[in-house]
């Protein structure tokens, strides 16, 4: 799959992988609360899209949005996979910081393509221990496509821990990317983190 590129063909490459949800039941969270969270997230994304900011400014803002609305530690640990168990606390902190910046660059560039378009809320449904909140991305000159956010309060705060863009599972895609980067660095976590920081 070409880096930083979403397409319907990518769905076949990723297969039908599904994120394994925790066994912890939802606590006080409701579908309405999950929709409210994603609604605020979508509003913030739409504001950035319509802001006229430079790409660098937009990416910096998307990093702030990601930190605000995403369960960053869970996403980072999943992306690192079993190597997260061998990583020290300091390595996990460095990786989480660089991984967050990397995601902001990667997905910020994708959302920048939405300029002139918008993302609209579609609704939510409960799925075991999380909520699936659907939105619709409407871009000029392209057919609308769905962007789904998976939301849970298992961290103690209602946050999204995965998203699907045109059916592409962000967590599985990033786990594959980080795994390939680790392989290229012979399993050396510190070297992988340095390379991750260089990815534009």
- pTM summary value: 0.80
Q: How many domains does the chain have?
A: 1
Q: Is residue 161 part of a domain?
A: yes
Look at 93 and 28; give whichever has higher pLDDT. Answer: 93
For CA atoms 20, 25, 29, 35, give the dihedral sign. positive
Mean pLDDT of all residues belonging to the chain: 84
Q: Is residue 103 part of a domain?
A: yes
Q: Is residue 191 part of a domain?
A: yes
Q: Is residue 4 part of a domain?
A: no
DSSP code of residue 70: B
Write out the two tokens for 178. Answer: 């980080």
Q: Is residue 16 part of a domain?
A: no
Q: Are 198 and 184 in contact (CB under 8 A)?
A: no
Axis crossing angle, helix 89-112 with helix 55-69, rounded to the nearest 10: 130
What gap in Å lies between CA 79 and CA 96, rounded to an integer? Answer: 10
- Taking 70 as the threshold, does the pLDDT of residue 2 lie above it? no
pLDDT digits (tens, 9 = 90+) for 66-121: 999 999 999 999 999 999 999 999 999 999 999 999 999 988 877 777 778 888 99
> In this predicted structure, what is the pLDDT of residue 28?
52
Domain that holds residue 162: 28-198
Q: Is residue 17 part of a domain?
A: no
Closest CA relative to residue 182, chosen from 191, 171, 170: 191
CATH of the domain at 65: 3.10.450.710
């Amino acid at each position: 799959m070409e880096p930083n590129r979403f397409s319907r063909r990518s769905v076949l490459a990723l297969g039908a992988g599904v994120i394994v949800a925790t066994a912890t039941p939802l606590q006080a969270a409701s579908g309405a609360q999950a929709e409210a969270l994603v609604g605020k997230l979508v509003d913030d994304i739409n504001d950035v899209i319509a802001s006229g900011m430079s790409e660098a400014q937009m990416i910096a803002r998307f990093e702030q949005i990601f930190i605000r609305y995403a369960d960053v530690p869970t996403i980072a640990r999943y992306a690192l996979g079993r190597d997260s168990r061998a990583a020290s606390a300091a390595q996990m902190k460095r990786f989480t910081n660089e991984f967050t910046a990397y995601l902001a660059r990667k997905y910020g560039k994708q959302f920048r393509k939405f300029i002139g378009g918008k993302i609209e809320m579609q609704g939510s449904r409960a799925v075991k221990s999380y909520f699936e909140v659907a939105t619709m991305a409407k871009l000029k000159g392209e057919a609308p496509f769905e962007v789904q956010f998976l939301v849970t309060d298992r961290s103690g705060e209602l946050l999204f821990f995965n998203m699907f863009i045109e059916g592409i599972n962000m967590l599985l895609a990033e786990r594959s990317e980080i795994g390939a980067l680790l392989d290229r660095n012979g399993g050396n976590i510190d070297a992988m983190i340095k390379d991750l920081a260089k990815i534009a």
